[in-house]
Amino acid sequence: MTQISSAPSYHSIQQAKERLAPIAVKTPLIESLALNEKLGGRLFVKCETLQHTGSFKFRGAYNAISSLNQDQLANGVFAFSSGNHAQGIALAARLLGTKATILMPKDTPVIKVENTRGYGAEVITYDRYTESREAIGEKIADDNNLTLIRPYDNVDVISGQGTVGLEIIQQLASHNLTPDYVCAPCGGGGMMAGVSLAIKHLSPKTQLFACEPEFFDDTTRSLTAGKQLSNTGDHRSLCDAILTPTPGDITFPILQKDVTGGLVLTEAEVTEAMRVAFNYLKIVVEPGGVVALAAYLSGKLDLKGKTAVAVASGGNVDPLLFASILNNER
């Protein structure tokens, strides 16, 4: 396991909140009375789909880049990403006056690649199933003297994502509520780690669950085993945003300490949750971003008499794919 010199904390999340306050969207926490009636409890959805770049990833990206020194900003930043971290880094770099180079999988949805380039970043592609983004990324960053900002194993990134958790507790407090459950999508665990640090500090009795697609349930299996396990790479999934190979070295110890467990969703459960999000909540959520909502809708957690939150982490879905899902063609 990689040794780290510091770790994210509630204090670092509060610092991130101050940096993000002038620029990030305080995204709404919404509910559907009709959906609540079906589920027997109160389910709130945190709409990070409405964050800049359509994903929570902007929070961590902006916090990380704004923490760099002037020499690092002058040289530029580098990131590897399936799309949402890429877009967050690209926009944050533009806003903070530096250049961004991004390594993206060849099968990334076109909308994510185009948006990343649209924010001014240079995009390089690789095969996620046969090549190591970490190896390629570290070489590019070293050869060009760029600061590598990892999508989850970065203290400032995790701290930025943790502001989602702060907002959830503050927004529920306005309803005189505290959550029994909070579910969030989990790839490498950056948001799950940050959110759990914030929520466990403010609401220690809340249970947190990491949500993953089937065949990419490395965090769920790792939590059960008590050590980091990897995915095989033999499968494909609609949930491109959270298809990471293994939990992060920084994130996993936090998840072990604060997260109750993992929940694994089938592709059918994911697509049904996308339809429910659109029909009941009037929001567009991408497959990887909807797994937390799918966990409740599929009955993996019983909501009767409970107050729960699902983080809808991103809305960057290919329009044709989204249309096919709404039309029950997937």
Strand order across the 77-80 sheet? 122-126, 100-105, 77-80, 147-148
pLDDT of residue 83: 84
pLDDT in tens, 55-72: 999 999 999 999 999 999
Cβ pair 252, 190 in contact under 8 A: no
Q: Do domains 12-56+155-326 and 58-148 have the same CATH topology?
A: yes
> What separation in angstroms does the CA of 155 have from each of 7, 8, 103, 250?
6, 5, 21, 8
pLDDT of residue 82: 77
Residue spans of beta strands (DSSP E) within the chain: 29-30, 42-47, 77-80, 100-105, 122-126, 147-148, 181-185, 207-213, 261-265, 307-312
pLDDT of residue 322: 97
Architecture of the domain delimited by 12-56+155-326: 3-Layer(aba) Sandwich (3.40)
pLDDT in tens, 128-182: 888 888 899 889 999 999 999 999 999 999 999 999 999 999 999 999 999 999 9
pLDDT of residue 81: 87
CATH number for the segment(s) 58-148: 3.40.50.1100
pLDDT of residue 1: 30
- Token digits of residue 162: 């943790």
Amino acid at 220: T
The DSSP-derived string for 210-249 is EEEETT--HHHHHHHHTS-----S----S-GGG--SS--T
Query: Given the DSSP bridges, would you call strands 42-47 and 77-80 parallel, antiparallel or unpaired?
Result: unpaired
Burial class (CB in 10 A: 0-12, 13-18, 19+), 213: buried
Question: Residues 2-36, buried b or exposed e (16+ Cβ, 10 A)?
Answer: eeeeeebbbebbebbbebbeeebeebebbbbeebe
Q: What is the mean pLDDT of each run of 10 residues along the chain (330 residues)?
A: 64 98 98 98 98 97 97 96 91 97 89 91 90 88 94 97 98 97 97 98 98 96 96 86 92 98 98 98 97 98 97 95 94
Q: Where are the domains of the chain?
A: 12-56+155-326, 58-148
- Token digits of residue 135: 């190896």
CB contact set of 73 (below 8 Å; sequence gap of 6+): 65, 96, 97, 98
